Amino acid sequence: MRVKPVYESNHMRFGIRFECPGCGESHIVKTMGDDSWSFNNDYDHPTLSPDVNAYEPTNAPPPLEPRCHFRLERGVISFEADSGHALAGKSVELPELP
């Protein structure tokens, strides 16, 4: 499994979580409800649409720069060139979760 479901306090699925090999942090992406990303419901070979921008924490001073900008297709995470880490511009397989 490369992504895990994330639930709200009312036990409704909110989105997915995965470990990012680029920035070394967990990303949570909303896949249910308004303003959400589409998800193919494949936890081993996930695809999200559209691309995702994960920004610096909200307490960071402006201007906010993308910490991690990526596309996720069939379990491969492709980082855009404007990502702020060493994997910017590269594609790697999303790691398995423990």
* Per-residue model confidence as pLDDT tens digits over 49-58: 999 988 766 5
* Per-residue model confidence as pLDDT tens digits over 34-50: 999 999 999 999 999 99
- pTM, full prediction: 0.85
* pLDDT cut 90: percent of the chain above it: 65
pLDDT of residue 90 exceeding 90, the answer is yes
| Cβ density class 15-52: b for 16+ within 10 Å, e for less | bbebbbbbbeeebebebbeeeebebeeebeebbbeeeb
Report d(CA 19, CA 94) in Å as an integer.
8
Q: Which of 61, 64, 93 is nearest to 76 (CA)?
A: 93
Report d(CA 77, CA 90) in Å as an integer.
8
